[in-house]
Amino acid sequence: MYNNDISILSELSQVSSPSSCEGNMRNYLISKCAKLVDSYTSDSIGNLFLKKDCNCNDVKNVMIVAHMDEIGIIITHIEENGLIRFDKIGGINESVLIGSKVKIETKDGYIFGVIGSLPPHIKQERNQKIEVWDLWIDIGATNKEDAQQHIGVGDTGVIFGSFNELINDNISMRAADNRTGLAIIIYLLEALRNYSLNRTNLTCVASVQEEIGLRGSTALCMDYSPDYIIVLDVTHATDYPGIKKSIYGDIKLGHGPVIPISPDSSKDLQFFIQKTAIQNNISYQVQAFARPTSTDLNAINMRFKQAQTGLICVPCRYMHSPCEIISITDIKNTVSILLNFILQLNGKKNS
């Protein structure tokens, strides 16, 4: 994000990685980060570990986690007329699916399709609530045999949308949840090239299957015990109609990342993160959760009970839709908070 480079965000938005099929994203992250870290490895479930080791005694172990999976679809049946039935991977509101483009990965590569819908001119009774089994994908096939030449049951795909720069430093993109967190990790590792870490081992984790039950973070295996774990994700911006601020807080795009207070975050670490932001004049927002968050932090808090755990979220409008909106300013501020946090642990300042 330094030098205002948003190409990483654009590239990330083009990579498909529905939950349990994250190989494309894992390969992309390795290609971007291999030269920025000392080593990288994956575990049996597919989590990717990017490590910077200081090889010193009496160090603090820091882990930063962002999930690399996204919501998507899986093919369940092909009709005799060539139309394709599917199910949802993760939490998707059916109303945003109608008329959406889909990008499906097959054994022979990618194929595009459209989720069909009835035009308003055609009068027909429909259930008030649309269910996923009411919908279908049209790839242009003439019949079942034709469709089977291109696609098969079990193939997975994602809802596809374009990447666009908007006014006021905002971006519209697909899968900002959680391409945003992955971009922050890449930008942070790029920024850390200018510094030597002599008191901190840093491990950045791109976790899998967050959207279908925090499965990757539940299975995390480490070769050391982290002292601090910070999870990166998005949270709901509430600066548009239809969202109750009394429930979800007053969260605005462009006003800085959210540093939540929740049962699954350590108060000492969250206050340390807030203090880092204040000392470096970095804007941030606070959000309160009465219950554990629906992020990887929930599983990690139970998995690593000896570590202090925290969460930083980037505000996002229209989450789990084909056109999520985030602020470049919020991403920059998140990178700055993390950079200063790590440098403070190493007795350094961001010059």
Closest CA to 71 of 159, 132, 131, 154: 159
Tokens of 325: 């909106």
Return the beta strands (E) in the chain as ranges. 39-42, 48-52, 60-67, 72-78, 84-89, 101-106, 109-115, 137-138, 156-160, 164-165, 170-173, 200-207, 228-236, 308-316, 324-327
At 2 the pLDDT is 47
| Sites in the chain below the pLDDT cut of 70 | 1-4, 123-128, 223, 350-351
d(CA 295, CA 324): 18
At 243 the pLDDT is 93
Q: What is the mean pLDDT of the chain?
A: 93
The distance from CA 123 to its chain's CA centroid, rounded to whole angstroms, is 40
Could you count the other beta carbons within 10 Å of the beta carbon of residue 351?
6
Tokens of 200: 């901190």
At 4 the pLDDT is 60
**Based on C-alpha coordinates, what's the Rg of the chain?**
21
At 334 the pLDDT is 98
Per-residue pLDDT of 18-29, as tens digits, reads 999 999 999 999
Domain residue extents for the chain = 2-70+175-345, 72-160
Class of domain 72-160: mainly beta
Per-residue pLDDT of 318-335, as tens digits, reads 999 999 999 999 999 999
At 302 the pLDDT is 85
Class of domain 2-70+175-345: alpha beta
The distance from CA 5 to its chain's CA centroid, rounded to whole angstroms, is 19
At 128 the pLDDT is 64
d(CA 212, CA 87): 13
At 127 the pLDDT is 57
60: phi then psi, degrees, rounded to nearest 5: -95, 135
